[in-house]
Amino acid sequence: MAKIIAVTNQKGGVGKTTTSVNLAAALAATKRKILLIDLDPQGNAAMGCGVLKDNIQYSSCELLLEEVPVAEIIVSNRQLGFDLIPGNADLTAAEVQLMSVAHRERRLADALLHIRDKYDYILIDCPPSLNMLTLNAMVAAHSVLIPMQCEYYALEGLSSLMATLKSIREKINPDLYLEGILRTMVDSRSRLGKDVSDQLLEFFGDKVFRTTIPRNIRLAEAPSHGVPVLTYDKASRGAVAYIALAGEMIRKDKAAKK
């Protein structure tokens, strides 16, 4: 059965979609079966996988509104090596419609019941806000992965996100846990970044991934070509970092099963 991970941070521009797409590619490179779900109305994860968000027949909107079976929404791409459920602006309308239906926070969890045995990992790229879409992701997920830049404003947002995680665990999804905090856009020359990184390690310990994601031009260029950085330039520092992250996650999961 798939391990479901919500990739979330209510602060935009922290590398959330970059992490979702490139971690999916890195995990797929280990011969594991991966599904990436784009729950962001901006549809950037879909675009980063070469899927034009305005041309898709079905999206995660239809999934949440239960209008189309999940198997008909999945886009398979042999070049990517993993499956995708794309997202687009229709998700904004879906969020509004969900407000008036019963069990609205469980729509994604219920849909994934039908396919989770087909995958090893399901990654959910959440929007940069704590809304009904993010709530659906966190109710469906086993764990939450938080990408964040090492800056002080990010620390403030992190405390709010941890409070939300605690609330969801107490009220809806008692098994939800913190997969880890991923330091992104790391500049080794920055004293501020080092100070914030040290604080994260002090408060969260081994919940902070040892792997860090550097600032990397090739990583930034890859989405404009519609491919993960592993396809665009597998020797780049960005690609190597996400391969390392995938390896670290797999080792942790194996250790937890022993």
Show the domains of the chain with their CATH numbers: 3-257 (3.40.50.300)
**Residue 171 predicted with pLDDT over 80:** yes
- C-alpha–C-alpha distance, residues 66 and 251, integer Å: 36
d(CA 191, CA 24): 31
Average pLDDT value for the chain = 92
Residues 6 or more apart whose CB falls under 8 angstroms from that of 172 comprise: 105, 139
Reported as a single tens digit per residue, the pLDDT across 3-41 is: 999 999 988 888 999 999 999 999 999 999 999 999 999
Cα 43 from Cα 95, distance rounded (Å): 15
The answer, as to whether pTM is greater than 0.85, is yes
**pLDDT band (50, 70, 90) for residue 147:** very high
DSSP 70-119: HHHH-EEETTTTEEEE---THHHHHHHHHTTSTTGGGHHHHHHTTTGGG-
Strands (E), the chain: 3-7, 34-38, 75-77, 82-85, 121-125, 143-149, 177-186, 208-214
Q: What angle do CA 236, 238, 244 make, to 5 degrees?
A: 105
